[in-house]
């Protein structure tokens, strides 16, 4: 969402003001011209940070219908009609009924849900938020309805499931499965035409060739599938160009295997470390599902990486090696960053979804040289720009 930061003010200055429609909460017109103008400005601003002539590769997003997951408040507007809302400070304005950056299936489902809430008290009573999750492979489609804790005791599971099946699970726009999920204080309820499907898992086959990812509603997943595919392809080309195929990979902050499944084929052995037990369990499921046998996914703190590697029988000194780190938006704490820098692998790949790379760069530069930077536009019409930095051991 465009804010009052220096970057956004610059974007607003160069954006078209021709009267085209705007996303609620966004000051930039939603059209292809303004998108490309905005992306150019974001990359220009980013390039000024790296004035040493570092090569920058840009990965563009589709301007429309690229976002695979969106979450909205839901409630009634001033005319007592159900609408989706976004926060303006402490106030929520219920003014939205479509979202052009979300997939077409999400936009259709948004309209159907508003109608369903109007017709069904079981679906609408105590509802306050909805999360739509689509898949690039046109597989599972999830509509998760969040309900206030105060109404959990009065929730009628049978009646809710009947109306969810009646109004939402029979949508004709989806090939594959639709799951409608009620998220309550102490449990969740799933409505699906396949009665055997009682979990909130989401199967995705569109991100990587011949691979399936299993995700959970509410857990992190890449919101822009097209850009994710393009980033993976670009990284593969970098590995080939640098001659680092069949090297060994250490992956830190590895999550549920979103990068692992796509990149494992380039390496002879992969050790991935993630501190969240639930994400590691999902990673194990994804590795087994795709029959990837040369990856070891471990639940631990990344600071224990050296001890973990020493226990790996075939991970020996002198082997060509790569480390990938994908930290939270704020980046790595200084002590953790110094630890990663001192690993001194042949190559370090830093995936930055925020400003963490800029903050961590000085420490990383003590042992690594930046050789390539990729700007991946996961979030069109916002100031966010994901960076993938390729460092070589100095």
Give 49-100 pLDDT, tens digit per residue.
886 778 899 999 999 999 999 999 999 999 999 999 988 778 898 989 889 9
Q: With pLDDT > 90 as the criterion, what percentage of the chain qualifies?
A: 51
Mean of all residue pLDDT scores within the chain: 86
pLDDT category of residue 193 using cuts at 50, 70 and 90 = confident
Give the integer Cα–Cα distance in Å for 308 and 306.
5
Predicted TM-score (pTM) of the model is 0.88
Give the integer Cα–Cα distance in Å for 117 and 113.
6
How far from each other are the two terminal CA atoms of the chain, in whole angstroms? 38
pLDDT of res. 315: 64
pLDDT category of residue 23 using cuts at 50, 70 and 90 = very low
**What domains does the chain contain, in order, with CATH numbers?**
69-216 (2.40.50.1070), 225-393 (3.40.50.150)
- In the predicted model, is pLDDT for residue 122 greater than 70? yes
- DSSP states of 80-94 as a string? S-EEEEEEETTEEEE
Give 289-342 pLDDT, tens digit per residue.
999 999 999 999 988 888 888 787 666 555 778 999 998 888 888 988 998 898
CA–CA–CA angle 263, 269, 273 (5° rounding): 75
pLDDT of res. 212: 93
pLDDT of res. 229: 93
pLDDT of res. 350: 96
């Amino acid at each position: 969402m465009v804010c009052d930061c220096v970057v956004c003010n610059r974007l607003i200055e160069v954006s078209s003001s021709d009267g085209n429609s705007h996303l609620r909460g966004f000051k930039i017109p939603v059209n292809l011209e303004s998108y490309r103008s905005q992306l150019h400005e974001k990359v220009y601003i980013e390039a000024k940070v790296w004035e040493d002539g570092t090569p920058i590769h840009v990965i563009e997003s589709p301007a429309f219908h690229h976002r695979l997951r969106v979450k909205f408040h839901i409630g009634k507007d001033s005319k007592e009609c159900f609408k989706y809302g976004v926060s303006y400070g402490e106030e929520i304005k219920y003014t939205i009924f479509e979202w052009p950056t979300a997939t077409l299936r999400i936009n259709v489902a948004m309209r159907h849900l508003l109608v369903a809430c109007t017709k069904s008290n079981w679906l609408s009573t105590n509802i306050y938020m909805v999360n739509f999750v689509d898949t690039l492979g046109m597989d599972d489609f999830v509509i998760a309805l969040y309900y206030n804790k105060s109404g959990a005791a009065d929730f009628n599971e049978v009646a809710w499931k009947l109306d969810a099946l009646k109004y939402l699970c029979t949508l004709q726009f989806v090939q594959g499965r639709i799951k409608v999920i009620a998220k309550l204080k102490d449990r969740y309820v799933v409505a699906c035409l396949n009665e055997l499907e009682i979990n909130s898992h989401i199967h995705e086959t569109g991100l990587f060739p011949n691979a399936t990812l299993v995700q959970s509603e509410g857990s992190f997943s890449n919101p822009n599938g097209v850009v994710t595919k393009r980033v993976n392809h670009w990284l593969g080309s970098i590995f080939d160009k640098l001659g680092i195929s069949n090297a060994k990979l250490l992956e830190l902050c590895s999550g549920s295997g979103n990068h692992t499944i796509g990149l494992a084929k380039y390496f002879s052995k992969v050790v991935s470390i993630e501190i969240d037990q639930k994400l590691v369990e999902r990673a194990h499921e994804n590795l087994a599902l795709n029959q990837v046998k040369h990856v070891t996914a471990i639940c631990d703190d990344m600071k224990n990486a050296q001890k973990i590697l020493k226990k790996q029988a075939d991970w020996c000194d002198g082997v060509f090696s790569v480390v990938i780190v994908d930290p939270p938006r704020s980046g790595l704490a200084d002590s953790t960053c110094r630890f990663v820098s001192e690993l001194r692998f042949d190559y370090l790949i830093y995936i930055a979804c925020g400003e963490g790379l800029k903050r961590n760069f000085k420490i990383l530069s003590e042992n690594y040289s930046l050789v390539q930077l990729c700007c991946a536009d996961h979030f069109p019409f916002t100031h966010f720009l994901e960076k993938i930095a390729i460092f070589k051991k100095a």
